Amino acid sequence: MEKIFIVGGGPAGLLLASKLSERGFKVTLFEEHKMIGYPEHCTGIVRTNFFELLGYKKLNSLILAKYMGGQIIEEPCNKKFELFISQVKAVMIDRPNYEKTLTEIALSNGAQILLGKRAQIINHDGKAVVKTGIERFNGDLVIGARGPRANPNLKVLHGVQAKIKFERPIEENHVTVVFSHKIPKFFGWIAPYEQGNYAKVGVATLSSSVRQSLLHILSLIKDKYSIQGYFGGPVVVGGIGKNALYANYLPVGDEAGHVKPLTGGGLDLAAVAALKIVEDLKSDIILRLND
């Protein structure tokens, strides 16, 4: 039974912990926060068959909204382009509860998940080692799932979102995307969910005045609403994966730059990458490369 250490308890790390422990690997995951799923980071929009792709179809109950189209607003000319079709093309999932469910699956399969444990990946005699304080952990494979801040090679934007509640439900099945001179180098979005009673309104930009960009997007909403809270984090939009200085280190998710090239969304590609890692480990490809 190979010993695998995962540093980072976001969606990529937790999916690997659940899938690898299912297959009999001895998995230990280190997560610096004391609560899985928080703080929140992303909107949670993924492909329609996301949970089927993972082999966890039962998690379809975590779908918050289904989208059949959308509109694009271009400023300052105020052009609008609309596209609506007769089938669902994307869904929003409850990311915090998705991560909590992956944690439960991993634990039930025998994985060890250490919360509130800040860990580093260091080089020791040409191999990756996990360091927490004075403790060091040596494994057959060390997986970095620490997010974009662990990789200086990535191009990262400032991202922030507001959760809003509408006084009256709005149409739920489409997403609005806004390109504006007030959101330099990227765009803003409005994604309704829970029968149109709520929406996640966000922006990502190179500008440090990200708050002003968010306020501009909120000003475009004509329906009455109240703000329930804010969340955010870095959005990866380019760059290359982290250089592997040791044979037994493997980055995944945002740390590896596994994001959609147009939107910076990471849930889909992180899942695809994680499943590929599991497949290759199952056939012993990765571990043989480390020998």
Domain carrying residue 190: 3-290
Average pLDDT over residues 161-188: 95
Given pLDDT bands bounded at 50, 70 and 90, which one contains residue 281? confident
Given pLDDT bands bounded at 50, 70 and 90, which one contains residue 241? low
C-alpha count within 13 angstroms, C-beta hemisphere, residue 156: 22
Q: What is the DSSP letter of 243?
A: P
96: domain CATH number is 3.50.50.60
Given pLDDT bands bounded at 50, 70 and 90, which one contains residue 26? very high
Q: What is the count of structural domains for the chain?
A: 1
Alpha helices in the chain (DSSP H): 11-22, 50-54, 95-108, 210-219, 267-282, 285-290
262 contact partners, CB below 8 Å, separation of at least 6: none
Average pLDDT over residues 46-75: 96
Distances in Å between the Cα of 201 and the Cα atoms of 55, 130, 144 are 30, 37, 30
Given pLDDT bands bounded at 50, 70 and 90, which one contains residue 287? low
β-strands 174-179, 26-31: how paired? unpaired
Given pLDDT bands bounded at 50, 70 and 90, which one contains residue 242? low
Q: Which residues pair with 149 in a beta bridge?
A: none
Tokens of 80: 């609008």
Q: Count the Cβ atoms, other than its own, within 10 Å of residue 53.
A: 15
Average pLDDT over residues 37-53: 94
